[in-house]
Each structure stands twice: as C-alpha cells, then as structure tokens.
Amino acid sequence: MSSILSKGTIGILTGGGDVPGLNPAIRAVTVRAIREGFKVVGIRRGWAGLIDMVRDEKYDNSNNFMELPRHVVDRAARTGGTFLHSSRTRPSHVALSRVPDHLKDLYKEKTNDLTKEVIKNLEWLGIDCLIAIGGDDTLSYAVHLGKQGVKVNAIPKTMDNDVPGTDYCIGFSTCVTRTIHLTNSLRTSAGSHERFMVLEVFGRYAGFTAMVPTMAGAAHRCLIPEHPFNIEKLTDLLSQDRRENPSNYSICMVSEGATFEGGEMQFEGAEKDAYGHAKLGGIGDMVSAKLKELSPKYNNGRTIEVINQKLGYLVRCGDPDAIDSIVPMAFGTMALDLILKGLYGRLVVLQNGRYDHVPIEVVTSKKKLVNVAKHYDVERLHPIYQDFEMLPLFIMAND
C-alpha cells in the first residue's frame, strides 16, 4: 500500500493511558500535514495496530489503521481520550498468547520480538515518517524503532508528567485541574463529618500529580513515591491540620506509588503489562486504615474517622482544559515542522516555558522525578514554597 500524494505519508499513533489532549495533537498534525500535501494514516490501538496488521489488500484492517480526513480530526479534537484508541503493547516483547494468528507459525517463543513485522507493516502502508504520542514506555519503543532506521518523531503525553527531557507532558494540566476540582467538592463531606480525607491519585514513580494540587492548596499534606513516609508523623501532622481548621478536617493526597518507611509499593494483583508494570492500588486504603488506628494517640484518645477516595480515572477523563488544548496544538505543529525540515529522531518538548525539540533518546536516558531536596519538605510532608523565580509554569522542571 503506497502513498498517492507526492510528499508522502505520515503515520500517527497514541499509546499507553488515555489523557485529554491526545485528539487535539492528532488534529494539529493532520490538518497541517494535509495542507502541506501529505496523506495521514492513523494507527489504531497504539503499537498493537502495527503487530495485528495483515499485509493483504483484501483483508479488513479497519481495526488496525485508518486514513485521517480533516472532518474526522476536527470533530474529535473537541473531546478527551483518543479516537485512535490505545494499548500498552510492546512489539519487542510480545507474549506467545498475544502473537497474532497469522504470525503464530513464525513466532513461537514465550516472548517474541515482532519489530521486523512492525517495520514491514510501516513499509506496506507506505509510511515515510511515524509520529508516536505517548509516555516513557510507548516512546521507549519509538527509540528502539529509530535505532532500526525508522524515521520517527515523538510527542510526550502522560498525566504523571514524568517523560524526561520536557517540563510538560500532554494531559498533566487537565489532571491537576480535575484533581483540585474533585478535592474541593469532596471537602464538603470531610468538613461535615470532621474527618481525615485521603485521596489516592496516579503516580507510579513520580509524585507530580500529588505535589502540584497540594501546592495549589487542594490538600494539607502529600505522599510521593520519591520519599518513603512515616505514618506516625503523617498522623500527627494531619491531626494538627484538623485542629487548626475551623471546619475540623484535613486532607492528604497520596500518589499510588508512595510507600511506608520500610515498605513496598502496593499492587492490585500479580499480572503485569507488556512493560513489566503491575497495576498499582491500595496505598490509599492502607494509609486510611493506619490513620484511623493511630488517631486516638493524637486526638485525646478519640478516633478520627477517614474518608478514603481513589480519584483514579476521574482525573484523566473528559475534555481537555485550555493548556491541554493549546500545548497539543503546538506539539503537533512542531512535529510536522520537523518532518518538513527533514529532521527525525526528535522529541518535541517544553523547556523553561519555550517550545523546543531534543533527541528522542532522552526518553530512555534517565528518569524524571520530583527533586525532593529542592521541592519537597520531608519533615512537613508538603511542597516547598520558595525560590520560584525563573521556574516553569508548573514549578518543577525537567531537572
């Protein structure tokens, strides 16, 4: 299947978790590309579409790819999620049970590298350059493809805001906005019943989704993956916060990857995704139970009840906010600019408030985490409010 337009064909895909802002990014690439004379093909379900594809003109591949016309992306750009759908597929590490039926005679190992098939499918589609939108897992495979000679550029996306090389990732602003809104709605119940409130939010290794809402005043304390916490200290601090609050309640924001001192991450089960990650969950429950158990010690012998809420997908669903409408537009436009300039192997980024691009290999070169010494008060279990001069919009930069 080859390109019918002189400038060639651009492929685009979204991988990993959904966030608001993906559809505006797809639109930005597509509208500009069509105007410049390119054809745009959307790969469906992330990397999965490129391993499930059957290279036969008569085969129904509509579940694996689609040509993108302007009217489709215009309509989708007003909504959250990704209309191309997504998955956590890693073509270099495909379990035998996940190998497509038409490839089972060729790949029979417990774990199989289907990269050769991905490259053949890109060639069959006539894709000259691929734009991958995703977090560090999705983009780590884009790095791998680039090393195999595929022309690929990348756009950072994750509500955790933890892709290295950029101060901002698509989805983070809406996540923070939703978190603050939901917390402010829930605090009426916490105040009415004079309780502790524990809110668990996403954040496996990085605590930005707990730090920034807390910094904005949504919570009294926050627990992040970068620093194991002492539950006695937390109970004492929240008890003080509750006494000092006229409505007699206090709130703690907990990253799903946070750990007790001497403890480990809490998982919902043993099953892991293609990138080796087990699903996190349960730290909010454990913190809530221990706060209730220890509360009499810090409340004149009386137990303090706890409202325990996992915000989860509520903060990553729905329409994008203003920032997650504007940044994806800029990122998508930049990704197309790079193609027009003949530049590949690049990650579009925001650094120090300015749009730029860096080598895509930065994604696999390091981890982007909260700088505890600079931004997190380990004694107060709270963000540090000082020295903001020249810092980016959301304070914590790509250090």
Phi, psi of 269 (to 5 degrees): -170, 180
Helix (H, G, I), strand (E, B) or coil at 324: helix
| 77 CB-near residues (< 8 Å, 6+ apart) | 23, 24, 26, 27
Is 160 catalytic? The answer is yes
State whether residue 188 is helix, strand or coil. helix
Is residue 113 within 8 Å of residue 93, measured between CB atoms? yes
Alpha carbon 353 to its chain centroid, in Å, reads: 20
Catalytic residue among 128, 160, 167, 241: 160
Going by their DSSP bridges, the two strands 94-95 and 382-383 should be labelled as unpaired
Q: Where is 65: in which H helix or E strand?
A: strand 65-67
**How far, in Å, CA of 31 to CA of 311, rounded?**
35
Q: Which of 149, 135, 133 is nearest to 85 (CA)?
A: 133
Alpha carbons within 13 A on the beta-carbon side of 63 = 8
| Token output for 222 | 């926050």
On the 0-12 / 13-18 / 19+ scale of CB atoms within 10 A, 244 is exposed
* Phi, psi (rounded to 5 degrees) for 71: -65, -30
Q: What residues act catalytically?
A: 160
